[in-house]
Amino acid sequence: MEAWLLFAARALIPIGFVVGVFRLRAPHGPAARLAVEFGTDREPPERIEATLRQALADPTVEVRRWDAERSLWTDERGVPVPPPQDKPDDGRSILMLERRGKPVAAVVHDAVLLEDPGLIASVGAVLRLSMENDRLNAQVQRQLGEVHASRARILAAGDEERRRIERDLHDGAQHRLLGISMSLQDVRAHARGVGASDVLLQHLDAVAVELREAMREMRELARGIHPAVLTNEGLEPAVRTLARRCTVPVELRIDLNGRLPAAVETAAYYVVAEGLTNVARHSWASHSCVRLSLDGGALTIEVSDDGSGGASLAIGSGLRGLGDRVAALDGAMTVTSPTSGGTWLRAEIPRR
């Protein structure tokens, strides 16, 4: 929360400083112009030097930054440069900028500017503020990157756990049920061979039916946790399987070229699965369409129908969860569903 407050504040502090500069100095002075440049349309770090040269009318201005990680001075492009001299002997001067007693940057300028101490002080204040904003912005971006990476790791771990459970069910419980079914067939055959009563044979037949139903439910459970066809064959065969099971006719428009990263395929599969589930359960549609295509560096997934409309990301945990999954992969998902009819679910996921 603190980082977000700092991030919000970075857009407000420069404006206040601009007002102060305008009150203290001539409205069209160089410090005021510089404050406007950095306060209302803040320059990127690599353009600070050019902005200073223009504002101070000094084409010799150089900005050098202290790189604490490498313990050396660099220019605006990050290229190492010699450290600034305390007392240059070439008619130039140094404005050293510090933060908590440690160097942050140095501005090398024409010594004639020292004739206006107020100007130098104002320039220093504006630059300190601008560079502090840059530091805070970089800090927030790092934190956002860490949060995003953490979400992606959690998502990948969850998908891997789903695959493990699916494998365990397939290789363990399903195989055991299959073995029991084969043993039951032997028992039924033996019972008939020895002339067992009709009641016993009917009981054995009923047990066989229940066992087949239990095996079917087990397969459905394993498929719902993580579909084996997605892992083994890829996104297109998995989506075709979803379309065959849907109770509403589905038109498929698939334009893919080979496999995609597992996280992308899994997210796309669940977008289609959730979309078709909503089509079948809530839309009263007579037709639906699924489109998968690679547009540049992103996979586009679309699920549309001619149903009653009225769907929303804000309604139902299924769509909200999908939105979170897609966002964790740097993607975006939208739902267009007017009450006049029809729903269009669209997601874009970077191919990575």
Q: What is the per-residue pLDDT across 256-293, written as a single tens digit (0 to 9) for each?
A: 988 999 889 999 999 999 999 889 888 889 999 999 99
One domain for residues 207 and 301: no
For residue 165 the two structure tokens come to 């459970």
Q: What is the CATH number of the domain that holds 237?
A: 3.30.565.10
Q: For residue 162, tell me if it sits in a domain.
A: yes
One domain for residues 278 and 331: yes
Other residues' Cβ atoms within 10 Å of the Cβ of residue 55: 21
Low-confidence ranges of the chain (pLDDT < 70): 1-46, 88-89, 170, 217, 220-224, 314-317
For residue 346 the two structure tokens come to 């669209």
Domain boundary among 193, 225, 257: 225
One domain for residues 193 and 239: no
Q: For residue 18, tell me if it sits in a domain.
A: no
Q: For residue 339, tell me if it sits in a domain.
A: yes
Question: 246 near 280, Cβ under 8 Å?
Answer: yes
Q: For residue 218, tell me if it sits in a domain.
A: yes
**Predicted local confidence at residue 293, as pLDDT:** 96
**Predicted local confidence at residue 129, as pLDDT:** 78
**Predicted local confidence at residue 23, as pLDDT:** 37
**Predicted local confidence at residue 315, as pLDDT:** 62
One domain for residues 338 and 247: yes
Residue bearing tokens 């089509």: 279
Work out the angle at residue 141's Cα, subtended by the Cα atoms of residues 9 and 314, and round it to the nearest 5 degrees: 85
Domain boundary among 206, 225, 244: 225
Q: For residue 13, tell me if it sits in a domain.
A: no
Q: For residue 239, tell me if it sits in a domain.
A: yes
One domain for residues 314 and 269: yes
- 13-24 and 117-168 are packed helices; what angle lies between their axes, rounded to 10 degrees? 180
Q: Count structural domains, the chain.
A: 2
Q: For residue 280, tell me if it sits in a domain.
A: yes
Radius of gyration of the chain (CA): 33
Domain boundary among 192, 225, 258: 225
Q: Cα–Cα distance between 304 and 279 in angstroms, integer?
A: 8
One domain for residues 267 and 323: yes
Beta pairing class for 288-295 and 250-255: parallel
One domain for residues 163 and 245: no
Among candidate residues 293, 291, 292, 306, the one with its CA nearest the CA of residue 248: 306
Q: Which amino acid is at 18?
A: V
Helices (H), 226-332: 228-233, 235-245, 262-282, 317-328
DSSP 190-254: HHHHTT--HHHHHHHHHHHHHHHHHHHHHHHHHHHHS-HHHHHH-HHHHHHHHHHH-SS-EEEEE
Domain range for 180 = 152-225
